[in-house]
Each structure stands twice: as structure tokens, then as C-alpha cells.
Amino acid sequence: MAEPHDDRPIAEIEALRAPPRTETARRQARERILAAAEPLLALRQRPLSSWDVLAAWARPGLIAASVALAVAAGALLSGRVGQQTVEPVALGEVLAFSEGGEIPALLVAINEPDAEAVAAAALMAGGGNNGSLQENANNGEGQ
Amino acid sequence: MVSARKGGNPAQDEPFLVERARQGDRDAFGTLVDRYSDQAFAVAYGFLQHVEDAEDLVQDAFIRALERIDSLGRGSAFGPWFYRLLVNAALNRRKYLARRQMQDVPAAVAGRESPVVDSERAELRRHLSGALRSLASDSETVVILHDLEGFKHPEIAKILGIPEGTCRSHLSKARRQLRDRLGEYRQPD
């Protein structure tokens, strides 16, 4: 069974009661509290200046600018890579003729061979006119 | 207006004062200080039994309240919230003082505050204070607020954030424990 509530205050506890505060003590305490609170109150009073607004946006602004810069740089670089093209090579440069000038050979193979060169080589291998090809090659060089 | 000073129903202008203090209004904050500082001092003294420590604690509690005033909900009563800060600060301060080997405060107080204090009374105060400190912190707080400072149970319940019934049982249990511990220092009922 629960114990009944003890409703009798302990009379002796009155001995722990605070001494009455004098008017002077009260005023001094008030002044001290308000003086200590002054910096906090001033912080709360300060109106928001345009610098505060700018400062608040500074960090997200910097982050956004950095991201935009990185994206732009990436796009620029990838565009350049995409624009790389194979320079056309004159037929005369890639064909070598034997001393007899009968069988030309395709020498240069760093880049994919030009379709014309392949076709010409095929034609010559099939018994085409060496002289006219040599001529064409030289003409192409001159252009 | 007594209840406003004890953290019960706040005065009607109190939400307005709190709002102005939130915006850094010195007068509004000063009014809150005027309204609560006497009672706060009495409560602080109940815990610390030392005038200067109690005054320092009240100042700290007001400054802490101003620092955290944004956490006080709009329209919420300032009193219970402020007294909760004060009580927590008092318990912490006392732990700090105890660590600094200054537990024998009542004797020092007796010597400093009233040189001609009766030695029996000083002895009683020392025992009372020791017995109070031996209670659980919630029970001690209830005794100080209720029996010493005259707060009502609903007010104390709000301050401590506990149900009123729990508050009553804390008080009842604490009184029984105090009676046992005071023993010879008590006058017969």
C-alpha cells in the first residue's frame, strides 16, 4: 500500500530562507545584469546591413562559381578533344615507288590511310598507269 | 502579480516583453529582470546558502536566458523556462563548488553575513543544508521551491517538466527523509 502524503512542512527549513534584499542590493544587481547583457542586446539590435547580406551569400556564391568554372573548363576541354581531325595527307607523301616505278607502296600508316590513297594503291596493284598516277600525285602535292 | 513572479501565469505583457528582449530591447529585458530577480535570488540562495554566490548565479541565469531566448517558443511563459535554467545552473554551480572543497558553505555564510548569529542556529542550518543536499536533485528542488519559496505544485511541475502528481510525491518523500535525517535538530511536532 502506498504511503500517505506527508503534508506537514518542516518548520526548521525556514532557517535556509534568503535574507531580504535591500533596495541598494537590488539596484546594483540590476545594473550588473544589464551591463553584462549589453553586448548580447547590442548584437540583437544590429540591423542587417548589405554587407551582412553579401557575407551570408558569399560562401554559396563562391561554391556556385567554382562549380560553374569547373563545368565550363570541362566542356571546353571535351570540345577541343572532339574537334581534333586527321589532317589530309598528299598521296605523293604516302606512296613510294620502286626504282622501276612499277609497284607503289603505302608507307605511312600512323593515321588511318586516306580512302583515295587506298583506292589508288588498289588500282595500281591492278595494273594501272604508273606515270599518270605519279603525275596525279605530284599535282596533288602542288595544290 | 505574485504568480507572474513565480512562473505561473505570466503577466499579459510578458510575451511582448520577451519578443522585445529577443530584438535587443534593453528596457524590456530590464523589466523582466525587475520582475524575476528577487524571486530568482531567493531560489538561488536556497540552493547555495551564500549571498554573493546567489547574486552571481542570478546574473548568469539572466545572461543564459538572453543567449537562449530564441529557444523559448513564441507566446510561451518566460517564468517556468527561466526558473528551469536557474535551477539547473544552481545544481551545476553547487557541484562545481563541491569539487572545489567548498561544501561547508552554511558555516561560512553564518560567519560572513551575521557575526552575532546564534551558534545553534548556524548548526541547524548546516545540518538542514546537508540533509537537503543528500536528497535527489528533483526532490531537493521541490522542497526549496515549495516549502521555502512558496511555489505551487502546478508551477513546480512546469519548471521541472514533470507531472504534478510526481511533484507531490517528491515533496512528501523528501519531507519524510528530511525528518529522519534532521533527528535531534528538529523540534518535536
**A4 secondary structure, DSSP code:** P
Evaluated on CA atoms A36, A37, A38, A43, the torsion sign reads: positive
Rounded to whole angstroms, how far apart are CA atoms B30 and B129?
32
On the question of pLDDT at A75 being above 50, the answer is yes
B147 Cβ under 8 Å from any chain A Cβ: yes
Inspect the interface and report whether the beta carbons of A37 and B171 lie closer than 8 Å. Answer: no
Show residues of chain A in contact with B178, CB under 8 Å: 10, 13
Rounded to whole angstroms, how far apart are CA atoms A65 and A62?
5
Does residue B119 fall inside a structural domain?
A: no
C-alpha cell at A37: 547583457
| pTM recorded for the entire structure | 0.64
Which percentage of chain A shows pLDDT scores above 90? 26
Residue B121: HSE in the Cβ half-sphere, 13 Å Cα cutoff: 12
* Same-domain status, B73 and B160: no
Higher pLDDT, A130 or A114: A114
Does residue A106 fall inside a structural domain?
A: yes
Looking up residue B81, the CATH number of its domain turns out to be 1.10.1740.10
Q: What is the amino acid identity at position B9? A: N
Residue B63's pLDDT is 97
Question: CB within 8 A of B132, min separation 6: which ones?
Answer: A16, B140, B143, B144, B178
Does residue A131 fall inside a structural domain?
A: yes
Does residue B188 fall inside a structural domain?
A: no
Q: What is the mean pLDDT of chain B?
A: 85
Does residue A33 fall inside a structural domain?
A: no
On the question of pLDDT at B116 being above 60, the answer is no
Helix (H, G, I), strand (E, B) or coil at B136: coil
Instruction: Examine the fold and report which residue of B58, B82, B103 is the final residue of a domain before the chain moves on.
Output: B103
* Same-domain status, B75 and B147: no
Q: Which of A101-105, B42-46, B51-55 has the lowest mean pLDDT?
A: A101-105
Higher pLDDT, B75 or A134: B75
Chain A nearest-CA residue for B70: A44
Residue B145's pLDDT is 96
Does residue B95 fall inside a structural domain?
A: yes
* Same-domain status, B147 and B95: no
On the question of pLDDT at B93 being above 80, the answer is yes
Structural domain count, chain B? 2
Q: What is the amino acid identity at position A86? A: V
Does residue B129 fall inside a structural domain?
A: no
* Same-domain status, B93 and B142: no
Inspect the interface and report whether the beta carbons of B63 and A10 lie closer than 8 Å. Answer: no
Helices (H) and strands (E) in chain A, counts: 5, 2
**A49 secondary structure, DSSP code:** -
Q: Give the bridge partners for A105, in sequence order.
A: A96
Residue B95's pLDDT is 87
Domain range for B144 is 134-183
- Count how many residues are written for chain B: 189
Backbone torsions φ then ψ of A105, nearest 5 degrees: -130, 145
Residue A119's pLDDT is 82
* Same-domain status, B17 and B83: yes
Inspect the interface and report whether the beta carbons of A16 and B41 lie closer than 8 Å. Answer: no
Q: What is the mean pLDDT of residues B57-66?
A: 97
Which percentage of chain B shows pLDDT scores above 90? 64
Burial class (CB in 10 A: 0-12, 13-18, 19+), B154: middle
Does residue A130 fall inside a structural domain?
A: yes
Rounded to whole angstroms, how far apart are CA atoms A106 and A92?
10
Q: Summarize pLDDT for B170-181 with one digit per residue, the tens.
A: 999 999 999 888
* Same-domain status, B34 and B89: yes
Q: Kindly indicate the confidence band of residue A89, based on its pLDDT and cuts at 50, 70 and 90.
A: confident
Show residues of chain A in contact with B34, CB under 8 Å: 30
Q: Kindly indicate the confidence band of residue A42, based on its pLDDT and cuts at 50, 70 and 90.
A: very high
Residue A106's pLDDT is 57
Helix (H, G, I), strand (E, B) or coil at A95: strand
On the question of pLDDT at B58 being above 50, the answer is yes
On the question of pLDDT at B44 being above 90, the answer is yes
Higher pLDDT, A84 or A27: A27
How far is C-alpha A107 from the chain's CA centre? 45
Looking up residue B145, the CATH number of its domain turns out to be 1.10.10.10
A39 Cβ under 8 Å from any chain B Cβ: no
C-alpha cell at A74: 570541362
Residue A2's pLDDT is 59
Residue A22's pLDDT is 92
A11 Cβ under 8 Å from any chain B Cβ: yes
Packing angle between helix B119-133 and helix B105-113, nearest 10 degrees?
150
Domain range for A137 is 91-142
Q: Kindly indicate the confidence band of residue B3, based on its pLDDT and cuts at 50, 70 and 90.
A: very low
Residue A104: HSE in the Cβ half-sphere, 13 Å Cα cutoff: 27
Instruction: Examine the fold and report which residue of B103, B118, B149 is the final residue of a domain before the chain moves on.
Output: B103
Q: Give the bridge partners for B134, in sequence order.
A: none
* Same-domain status, B139 and B70: no
Helix (H, G, I), strand (E, B) or coil at A106: strand
Structural domain count, chain A? 1
Rounded to whole angstroms, how far apart are CA atoms B58 and B61?
5
Does residue B4 fall inside a structural domain?
A: yes
Rounded to whole angstroms, how far apart are CA atoms A16 and B47?
9
Q: Judged by CB atoms within 8 Å, which residues 8-37 of B form the interface with A?
A: 21-26, 29-30, 33-34, 37
Does residue A35 fall inside a structural domain?
A: no
